[in-house]
Structure formats: structure tokens, C-alpha cells
Copies of this chain bind each other. A is one copy, B any other.
Amino acid sequence: MKSKETTGSICVVPSIKVAGVHCGLKEKGKDLGLIFSETPTISAAVFTQNAIKAAPVIYDMRLMKKIPDIRAVIVNSGNANACNSNGFDAIDDVVNTLSKKLNIEKDQIFVASTGIIGEDLPSEKITTAIDELVYRLGSNKCDDFSEAILTTDTFTKQMALNCSFYGEEFNIGGVAKGAGMIHPNMATMLAFITTDINISHDMLDRALREAVDKSFNRISVDGDTSTNDTVFIMSTCQAKNEKITTENEIYRFFADQLIHICTHLAKMIVKDGEGATKTAEVVVVGAFSKKDAQLVARSVANSLLVKTAIFGEDPNWGRIVDAIGYSNAYFSVDRLKVFIGDELVYAYSKKVDFDKEKLKNYMKNDEIRILIDLGLGVYTYNMWFSDLSYDYVKINAEYHT
């Protein structure tokens, strides 16, 4: 059992081809991406929990109910295709044109959009570019696809693993975009994962849900969730392993590798959070229930005062304790301990006399860890979050509709 990081992102899976082009939805840069599988696939997806959903999310949710053989995933940036007047018509245009071009069924196409909300999607820009997009599948450039899905992101987010389970080889690749509005329950965040492991639809779906719960759902940049968030996985099932249909050992191994990729992509999203200068992790242990552990982690990860303190490199444990206090979690100050890095800073309702200089130096790191021990039970939860800088305000105040 081993897994090894490699290059190639989602193209690490044989028979998966990708492309990315500029179709004019963004002023410059690639803004239209395509993933194409030359062989049949099974797939699963997790969508935004925002009650207001973009047209592509509603479209895909309906599509995925049929357990389709998805052969193409088309993604545009620059326009979210949400809260506008031509959402489904635009999708129909795109899907019609692409299905003819690729000679596949319309319901073999998965769609996703990210960008501005409330503007009609000029689908003719996409349909006009489809010839070139499909042509470019030949050169199969993962970087082009990764770039085409970005909005305010400053770098592409990709990862690939070659895995071996007692000699049975399989691959997993992933690509994501995030930057703004990142929050538990997923924000303007798209991720596409490919694999060739031989697995049933149900088990693939289960593995994806577990991985999303442990990764993308545990990140926070600014507390808002968007209308478009989607995590999609497709498998060609062409690896030589016996088909996974239960939670056996190879399933566990696969699921852990998937968690590894999703966690890596999620942390890259936090790192690229709008205006982020540092990333932080809050780890809650000793909670009486999972719910309590979550409440504490979310309260701390979403506290603007904690975020600005981390930006200011100040070990402000008072703001952490305050955020625990209003988390609505069950806890007792008489059992509560807080660590920043390895330093105990608060224990049993009182500040601890810690080494201030040491902690000040620790706060200069790019990654800060806060450990909270509620001292009550066995449940744990962790979250990754970014700091809050001047640039966050700049990016979001200057972004105009």
C-alpha cells in the first residue's frame, strides 16, 4: 500500500483528456474548460447548500439523479449563470452544441459556472469556442483547464497521486478553484476529481461525501457560501482491482487517498483566500459531541477578530476564548485549555504565564495552529482558515457589479 504524488493533475487518469481556452467571458485569460473521457465513467457530485442555487447546479442535481455515464464536463468562469433570466436556455445551447461536437448524449455532459451573479450568460461565446476547445483536447494541457476555471484566484490548484494497493495500481487527480467566499458547506468553489479505480457508484458517492466533509467543508475565508459550489468526481473504472462494492480494505485506502487530495486542494484554496497572508488551522479536541467540536471550530475560524489578530501576528488568546464563549457549544471554562502552536496560553478559566517572545516569533510563521481542548469527551474537529488583511477589503470593495 503506497501512494506517490505525481504530475498531470486530472490527466493522470488514462483516457481523460482536458483543454482550456479563452472564449471572451473574462476580459483576458482562459475562461472555458473541458474534461473529456474517452471511455464510460461513473460519477458522483456534492453541491452547494445555499438555498439559492445557480442554474448549472440545479441542472446537474437533476442529471446526477439518473446515475449518468458522464463523458464531458464543461466549465466556464467569468459568469456564474445564477439569478439571471436565461440560465437553463444557456445551458441547453452549450449542451446541444457540445454533444453534437463530441458525438455523445446531452445527458452525458456535466456543466459548471463561476463568476459574476445576475448577468445573463452569453452562451454564444461558449458555443462559438467549442470547436477550438475540442480541438485542444489533443494537446491535453491540465494547466489550461486549471487556469480556465479561476476567478479571483492567484494560482492554479492541482494534485495527482499514483496509488498502489498490494500491486493493484490506480490513479487519482484533482483540480480546484476558490479564492473568495470560502466557507464550510462550500463556497464559490469548484473541484473536479478523476480516478480510474474500479468502484461501484454507491461507494464512489460515499467516498466523495466523506472526503468533502473532511476537507472542503472545513475551510473558511469569509463566512459566505455561494450559489455555485460543486465537487465532482468521475471514475473510468479501468484499474485492474476487483470492483469495490463494500467498505473493504481497498475502499478505505482509496477513500484516504481521496481525502488526502481533497484536503490538499482545500488548503490551497485557503492559502489563496482573497487577501490571505497566512493560513491557520484550529483543532478542537475533547468535545462532548461532534456538534460541539464543530461549533467551537467554526466560531474561532470565522471570527474576524481572530483572523485580524493572525494577520497582525498577535497571539491574542483572548479573542479565541471569546469566540469559544459565544460558539453555543457545550463546554466548561474549568476544563478548557487553549494552545497557540505548542504554547499553552489559557487553562481552566485563566491566562497562563507563557513565553511571550517565543509566541511572538511563532506568530510570524505562514501557518498558525490553534489547539482547543474542551476536556470533556472524545470528539474532535478541525478547520483551516485564512487571516483577514487589508487586501481582503480592497479586493471585495473594489469588485464592482
Contact = CB atoms under 8 A, between A and B. Distances in A.
B397 A83 contact: no
A314 B400 contact: yes
A236 interface: no
A82 B321 CA distance: 10
Interface string A250-274: 0000000000000000000000000
B51 A304 contact: no
A185 interface: yes
Contact of A321 (B52, B225, B349, B394): B52
Contact of A224 (B53, B326, B331, B396): B326
A390 B394 contact: yes
Contact of A318 (B83, B309, B325): B83
A135 interface: no
Interface residues of A, number: 62
Contact of A397 (B84, B224, B308, B321): B308
A398 interface: yes
Residue picked from A49, A53, A117, A331, most chain B C-beta under 10 Å:
A117
B181 A350 contact: no
A389 interface: yes
B52 A333 contact: yes
A116 interface: yes
A224 B315 contact: no
A83 B304 contact: no
A245 interface: no
A350 B85 contact: yes
Interface string A79-112: 0001111000000000000000000000000000
26 contacts: A51-B327, A52-B325, A83-B318, A83-B321, A83-B350, A84-B351, A85-B351, A117-B319, A117-B322, A118-B317, A118-B351, A222-B305, A223-B304, A224-B304, A224-B322, A224-B326, A225-B325, A225-B326, A227-B322, A308-B393, A309-B397, A311-B397, A314-B397, A316-B400, A317-B401, A388-B393
Interface of A: 49-53, 82-85, 116-119, 180-181, 185, 222-227, 302-305, 308-309, 311-312, 314-319, 321-328, 331, 333, 346, 349-351, 388-390, 392-394, 396-401
